[in-house]
Amino acid sequence: MKIGFIGTGNMGSILVSSFIEAKAIEASSVMVTNRTIAKANALQERYSALQVAPSAQEVIAFANIIFMCVKPHQFMDILPSHQQWFTKEKLLVSITSPLQCEELEKVVPCSVARAIPSITNRALAGASLLTFGTRCTAKQKEQLQTLFDSISTPLLINNDITRVSSDIASCGPAFIGYVLQCMINSAVAQTKISNEQATELTSQMIIGMGKLLEKKIFTLPTLVEKVCVKGGITGEGIKILQEDVEHVFDKVIQRTHEKYDDERAKIAQQFQAHHSS
């Protein structure tokens, strides 16, 4: 199985590194390209057998599975002009949420799937979100599932819950990372703890919490309950969080869905312009 990557920015590079380090693919079976070619060359410096191509065309011709790791609005810079290279037996995999498989199937003749990763996949952990287009064969589904099994817990997701699933699995590390950084900043501002000490304590706390959940020792609600000793100190802190944080994610989720709708509207315009040209 040969795998291609068009776009080796943040997520393209993470996927290449994770698949190779999980031994799901050999570096010699990988070809990558990127608009700024230095980013593709940086991957070759790490994995010398990996091939770098000067353009998307070579990658598509080489690979059975082609990962499109560019931003949503950049898909149409590449797909229409490369239609003939996406021959029927190939599988195009989009890693971005706003594009749906059915839309991409109208632009390329090959099979299409969507696989939304998470930065947590770099540690061979976390979830990934898979959606298969109508043309995917049983073998292609199995190949993609096996690839993502090696770096994550893949979940099959329908279009109607794609955005919110991605909010949790893919945006989640940024959201929770931001909240934890706020806790660190407040601790440093309000007490004598150093930034280094607060950061180390917070990192160990979140790693430990992850292990409790992984080992199914506690669920999130039972964990909160166990820490909140009746009439104790944690409960006082929780009261403040109930006032200020309880509904904040309603707003976060509303905002990500608004942005998603904007992106989908822009993409619809791009697709319409393509189909009527």
Ligand X SMILES: NC(=O)C1=CN([C@@H]2O[C@H](COP(=O)(O)OP(=O)(O)OC[C@H]3O[C@@H](n4cnc5c(N)ncnc54)[C@H](OP(=O)(O)O)[C@@H]3O)[C@@H](O)[C@H]2O)C=CC1
Beta pairing, strands 51-52 & 3-6: unpaired
Q: Which CB, 53 or 68, lies closer to ligand A1CAB?
A: 68
Q: Is there binding between residue 13 and ligand A1CAB (CB under 6 A)?
A: no
237 is in an annotated binding site: no
Name the CA radius of gyration of the chain, rounded: 21
9 burial type by CB count under 10 A (0-12 exposed, 13-18 middle, 19+ buried)? middle
Q: Which CB, 31 or 187, lies closer to ligand X?
A: 31
Is the Cβ–Cβ distance between 65 and 90 less than 8 Å?
Answer: yes
Q: Which CB, 143 or 152, lies closer to ligand X?
A: 152
Quick note: the x/- pattern for ligand X over 222-241, rule CB under 6 A, is --------------------
Q: Is there binding between residue 95 and ligand X (CB under 6 A)?
A: yes
Q: Which CB, 6 or 91, lies closer to ligand X?
A: 6
Tell the smallest beta-carbon distance from residue 6 to ligand X (Å).
5
Tell the smallest beta-carbon distance from residue 26 to ligand A1CAB (Å).
28
Task: Mark the segment that binds ligand X (CB under 6 A) among 30-38, 100-108, 152-160, 219-227.
Answer: 30-38
1 is in an annotated binding site: no
| DSSP characters over 127-183 | EEEEEE-TT--HHHHHHHHHHHHTTSEEEE--GGGHHHHHIIIIIHHHHHHHHHHHH
Binders of ligand A1CAB among residues 106 to 135 (CB under 6 A) are: 116
Binders of ligand A1CAB among residues 163 to 192 (CB under 6 A) are: 166, 170-171
Q: Is there binding between residue 254 and ligand X (CB under 6 A)?
A: no
34 is in an annotated binding site: no
Q: Which residues pair with residue 128 across a beta bridge?
A: 154
Q: Which CB, 171 or 184, lies closer to ligand X?
A: 171
Q: Is there binding between residue 71 and ligand X (CB under 6 A)?
A: yes
Q: CA-to-CA distance for 15 and 121, rounded, in angstroms?
A: 8
Task: For residue 173, give the nearest of 6, 11, 44 by alpha carbon.
Answer: 11
Beta pairing, strands 51-52 & 30-33: parallel
11 is in an annotated binding site: yes
Q: Is there binding between residue 10 and ligand X (CB under 6 A)?
A: yes
Please state, in angstroms and as integers, the Cα–Cα distance from residue 273 to each residue in 96, 143, 194, 277, following that order.
21, 34, 56, 6
7 binds, among ligand A1CAB, ligand X, none (CB under 5 to 8 A by kind): ligand X
Q: Is there binding between residue 69 and ligand X (CB under 6 A)?
A: yes
Single-letter amino acid code for the residue at 200: E
Task: Mark the segment that binds ligand X (CB under 6 A) among 74-82, 103-111, 192-200, 239-247.
Answer: 74-82
Q: Is there binding between residue 53 and ligand X (CB under 6 A)?
A: no
Beta pairing, strands 127-132 & 111-116: antiparallel
Which residues are annotated as part of the binding site for NADP(+)? 6-11
